[in-house]
């Protein structure tokens, strides 16, 4: 039987070598034939037609009716107000007025409203499996994502029985509206970027597909000539933090100043006697700021009206908000009363830059009598990142002169290249790996390693401890109590931290993916986005060569640990155990190899049955999903754990395809660290009975393909009071 199994596995390895790399016909069809009306309608609902494919790689322009803003006809607006009053016998509300202004301002013309392209043609991006995926992406002319549709995806964990594709699509939807001209942080949302929550159970597939969308969009943006040339720094209009009015002013998003009669008398020297009375009385209370950053404008006007106001300005424009109250009004004859100064430039406003304003909707707002919104056109050359001054000109019969308000943009609203931001002192320098690596200089998988630096350090520490345990197992096995404490502590960390917290349970999916990448030359970059898994796999691979299967299965497998701890708990509460005869135990071992072969064959043949067979591993249910899945999966995993209470590591011994693969790969290991004596098996059977997984046969030989390196047998082997050969030897010495 064993020889037959070896031959079968030899055929299995040869079949991997001759695997044919599948090319999917749909991906290689012309782009225009893959984009159907349903895809267009989903990404661009207002689309009316598609243009001809352009560029190489290709993209397809989307044509539709776009609204263009024109100057408001004040006469028409006044006429509408009169008609509204006559019909409804009341003044129009703020919302009704704003809606009418938008209608009067816009006219429809057909133009390019976006572009459609494929991640496959544009970047040849690959998923965790090493296969290309095909996602149709929509991009607006202002550089923002319009949406995406998955056409073809071949990820091992994205399937109806594992992680539904709808969850991945929902993740991609969260990036709709993202400005591709700006830095998009796929990891944590820090550093001026935009973060996201991954898809539990398929985090790397989520990362790689999202990264493929962003990378392809950036390439098309450059190809169409719409890429921004803002330089290393730019105004952050997207990030938002809720603040009330005092917090907004203290932060510097809005600057304000109160001028009293006394201060005005000093500045303007008014002749009117009224200004000589009550010198501490307020002349004007004035506030100003840039309202297009969400952290300012959205706080001031609220979500709905902030969106309305920023829709009134074009890409590259800025929005100035001015608010005031007091004896003097800046808004009367406003075009002659205010001007914006930046360095040697003077910007004067006219009616064309005036926008309809709305009320303040911020908590703890001040009492203001006048609010103005002014558009700063991109063509003016105004730099929102630099200091500017708003001057107010008083030219009255009683006095004349100028008073001003200075504005410096809060550094949190300056974003851009992380390295440049840190070098300029605008951000604190972030480091990883105890200060040895500067995070801002990393990208792709390197950033993922930096984000998990403490986890990586802790995992490496654990693996060093495990190496010391295995290296000094004789000393450890000489003391039952110390062995028990150390093993129980290590297994607890494996289950709770490696399994449930770090989500680093190796699976047969990993083995198959690594094998395909090696044989087919697909590359290993995609796996590096999972640093803890990579480290554990490398350690496991080395341990297979040196010691065999037992190191991972006995010490590092979270589900295996869950079974063992449940069995120990059952013994503590004195539940009965199931003793399987050795002859039956030896035959049951074959089951896991049959399961492995079935998974391998269905994977090679590209059968959808492989997804179902992979679910034989309960790892996703018990470890990755914390038993939070549909009832059949939870019942299956629970039954296996329940059986494990009465028969130690039942699944590991008889059903685990990962264990079968590791046993086969570690069959020809170099060292055998577990010692034997001539008396082992004849006449002594003590170790055979103490082995919890029955890996020692009746002749005293250890089957290293089934040994979990738990060292329980060595506890008896080095026990002077239990091991018969040692007891006999000691009696002779006495």
The pLDDT value given to residue 191:
33
Least reliable range by pLDDT among 93-102, 175-184, 465-474: 93-102
List, as one string, the DSSP characters of 655-705: T-HHHHHHHHHTTT-S---S---TTBTTTB-HHHHH-TT--B-TTS-B-TT
pLDDT of 408 > 60? The answer is yes
Confidence of residue 4 (pLDDT cuts 50, 70, 90): low
The pLDDT value given to residue 24:
39
The pLDDT value given to residue 412:
93
Residue 267 CA to residue 399 CA, distance in Å, equals 10
CA-to-CA dists, residue 406 to 248, 251, 262, 289, 391, angstroms: 16, 14, 21, 10, 9
The pLDDT value given to residue 271:
58
Q: What is the mean pLDDT of residues 189-215?
A: 66
Q: What is the mean pLDDT of residues 517-544?
A: 91
pLDDT (tens digit, 9 = 90+) per residue, 545-571? 999 999 999 999 999 999 999 999 999
Least reliable range by pLDDT among 75-84, 220-229, 269-278: 269-278
The pLDDT value given to residue 154:
85
**Among 156-170, 219-233, 561-575, which range has the highest average pLDDT?**
561-575
The pLDDT value given to residue 326:
83
Q: Can you read off the two tokens belonging to residue 404?
A: 């001003």
Q: Are 584 and 702 in contact (CB under 8 A)?
A: no
The pLDDT value given to residue 101:
72
Query: Residue 584: is it exposed, middle or buried by C-beta count within 10 angstroms (0-12/13-18/19+)?
Result: exposed
Say which residues have a Cβ less than 8 Å from residue 188's Cβ, sequence separation at least 6.
Answer: 195, 451
pLDDT (tens digit, 9 = 90+) per residue, 257-309? 988 877 777 666 655 555 556 667 777 889 999 999 999 999 999 988 888 88
DSSP state of 59: B
The pLDDT value given to residue 105:
62
**Residue with token string 């050969």:** 725
> What percent of the chain has pLDDT above 70?
87
pLDDT (tens digit, 9 = 90+) per residue, 112-131? 889 999 999 998 888 887 88
Q: What is the mean pLDDT of residues 456-467?
A: 98
The pLDDT value given to residue 18:
41
Say which residues have a Cβ less than 8 Å from residue 221's Cβ, sequence separation at least 6.
Answer: 139, 143, 180, 181, 227
How many CB atoms within 10 Å of residue 586? Answer: 16
pLDDT of 362 > 90? The answer is yes
CA-to-CA dists, residue 102 to 99, 105, 374, 503, angstroms: 5, 5, 16, 51
The pLDDT value given to residue 717:
94
The pLDDT value given to residue 609:
77
- Listed by start position, the domains of the chain span 35-223, 245-414, 447-733
Q: How many residues are present in the chain?
A: 734
| Sign of the four-CA dihedral 447, 452, 454, 458 | negative
The pLDDT value given to residue 335:
67
pLDDT (tens digit, 9 = 90+) per residue, 692-726? 999 999 899 999 999 999 999 999 999 999 999 99
The pLDDT value given to residue 19:
40
Mean pLDDT of the chain: 85
**Residue with token string 């290296």:** 471
Peptide bond into 683 cis (omega under 30): yes
Q: What is the mean pLDDT of residues 200-225?
A: 84
Least reliable range by pLDDT among 422-431, 532-541, 553-562, 602-611: 602-611
Say which residues have a Cβ less than 8 Å from residue 266's Cβ, sequence separation at least 6.
Answer: none
Decide: helix, strand or coil at residue 531: helix
**Among 67-76, 191-200, 447-456, which range has the highest average pLDDT?**
447-456
The pLDDT value given to residue 242:
95
Confidence of residue 189 (pLDDT cuts 50, 70, 90): very low
Strands 338-342 and 370-376: what pairing?
A: unpaired
Q: Are 597 and 12 in contact (CB under 8 A)?
A: yes
* Global pTM exceeds 0.75: yes
CA 130 to chain centre: 20
Q: Are 417 and 232 in contact (CB under 8 A)?
A: yes
pLDDT of 504 > 50? The answer is yes
Confidence of residue 196 (pLDDT cuts 50, 70, 90): very low
Confidence of residue 215 (pLDDT cuts 50, 70, 90): confident
Confidence of residue 541 (pLDDT cuts 50, 70, 90): very high
Backbone angles phi, psi at 150, to 5 degrees: -80, 120
The pLDDT value given to residue 730:
83
């Amino acid at each position: 039987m064993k020889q037959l199994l070896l031959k079968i596995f030899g055929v299995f390895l040869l079949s991997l070598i001759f695997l044919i790399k599948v090319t999917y016909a749909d991906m290689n069809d012309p782009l225009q034939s893959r984009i159907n009306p349903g895809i267009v309608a989903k990404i661009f609902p207002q689309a009316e037609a598609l243009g001809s494919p352009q560029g190489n790689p290709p993209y397809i322009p989307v044509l539709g009716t776009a609204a263009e803003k024109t100057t408001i006809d004040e006469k028409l607006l006044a006429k509408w107000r009169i008609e509204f009053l006559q019909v409804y016998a009341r003044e129009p509300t703020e919302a009704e007025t704003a809606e009418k202004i938008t209608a009067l301002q816009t006219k429809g013309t057909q133009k390019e409203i976006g572009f459609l392209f494929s991640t496959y043609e544009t970047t040849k991006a690959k998923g965790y499996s090493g296969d290309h995926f095909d996602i149709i992406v929509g991009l607006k002319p202002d550089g923002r994502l319009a949406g995406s549709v998955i056409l073809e995806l071949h990820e091992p964990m994205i399937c109806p029985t594992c992680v539904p594709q709808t969850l991945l699509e929902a993740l991609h939807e969260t990036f709709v509206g993202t400005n591709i001209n700006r830095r998009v942080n796929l990891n944590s949302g820090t550093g001026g970027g935009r973060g996201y929550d991954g898809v539990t159970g398929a985090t790397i597939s989520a990362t790689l597909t999202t990264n493929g969308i962003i990378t392809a969009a950036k390439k098309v943006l450059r190809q169409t000539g719409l890429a921004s040339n803002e330089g290393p720094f730019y105004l952050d209009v997207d990030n938002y933090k809720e603040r009330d009015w005092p917090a907004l002013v203290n932060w510097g998003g809005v600057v304000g100043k109160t001028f009293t009669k006394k201060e005005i008398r000093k500045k303007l020297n008014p002749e009117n006697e009224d200004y000589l009375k009550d010198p501490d009385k307020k002349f004007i209370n004035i506030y100003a700021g840039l309202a297009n950053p969400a952290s300012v404008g959205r706080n001031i006007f609220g979500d709905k009206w902030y969106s309305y106001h920023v829709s009134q300005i074009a890409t590259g424009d800025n929005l100035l908000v001015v608010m005031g109250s007091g004896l003097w009004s800046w808004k009367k004859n406003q075009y002659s009363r205010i001007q914006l100064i930046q360095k040697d430039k003077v910007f004067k406003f006219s009616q064309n830059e005036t926008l309809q304003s709305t009320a303040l909707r911020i908590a703890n707002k001040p009492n203001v009598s006048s609010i103005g919104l002014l558009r700063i056109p991109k063509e003016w050359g105004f730099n929102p990142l630099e200091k500017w001054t708003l001057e107010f000109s008083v030219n009255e019969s009683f006095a004349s002169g100028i008073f001003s308000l200075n504005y410096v943009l809060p550094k949190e609203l300056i974003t851009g290249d992380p390295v440049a931001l840190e070098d300029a002192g605008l951000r604190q320098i972030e480091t990883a790996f105890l200060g040895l690596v500067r995070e801002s200089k990393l990208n792709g998988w390197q950033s993922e390693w930096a984000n998990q630096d403490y986890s990586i350090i802790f995992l490496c520490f654990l693996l060093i401890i495990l190496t010391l345990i295995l290296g000094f197992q004789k000393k450890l096995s000489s003391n039952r109590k110390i062995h028990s404490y150390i093993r129980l502590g290590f297994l607890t960390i494996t289950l709770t931290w490696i399994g449930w917290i770090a989500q680093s349970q190796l699976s047969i999916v990993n083995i198959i993916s690594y094998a395909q990448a090696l044989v087919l030359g697909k590359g290993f970059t995609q796996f590096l986005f999972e640093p803890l898994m990579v480290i554990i796999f490398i350690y496991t691979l080395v341990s297979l060569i040196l010691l065999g299967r037992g190191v991972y299965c006995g010490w590092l497998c979270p589900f295996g640990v869950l079974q063992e701890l449940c069995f120990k708990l059952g013994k503590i509460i004195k539940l009965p155990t199931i003793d399987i005869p050795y002859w039956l135990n030896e035959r049951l071992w074959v089951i896991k190899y049959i399961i492995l072969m079935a998974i391998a064959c269905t994977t090679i043949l590209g059968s959808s049955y492989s997804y179902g067979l992979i679910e034989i591993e309960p790892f996703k249910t018990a470890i990755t999903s914390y038993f939070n899945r549909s009832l059949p999966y939870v019942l299956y995993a629970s039954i296996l754990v329940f059986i494990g209470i009465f028969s130690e590591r039942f699944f590991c011994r008889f059903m685990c395809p990962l264990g079968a693969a590791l046993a086969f790969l570690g069959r020809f290991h170099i060292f055998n660290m577990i010692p034997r004596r001539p008396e082992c098996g004849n006449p002594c059977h003590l170790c055979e009975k103490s082995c919890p997984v029955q890996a020692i046969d009746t002749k005293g030989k250890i089957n290293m393909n089934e040994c979990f390196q738990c060292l329980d047998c060595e506890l008896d082997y080095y026990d002077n009071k239990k091991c018969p050969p040692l007891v006999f030897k000691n009696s002779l010495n006495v």
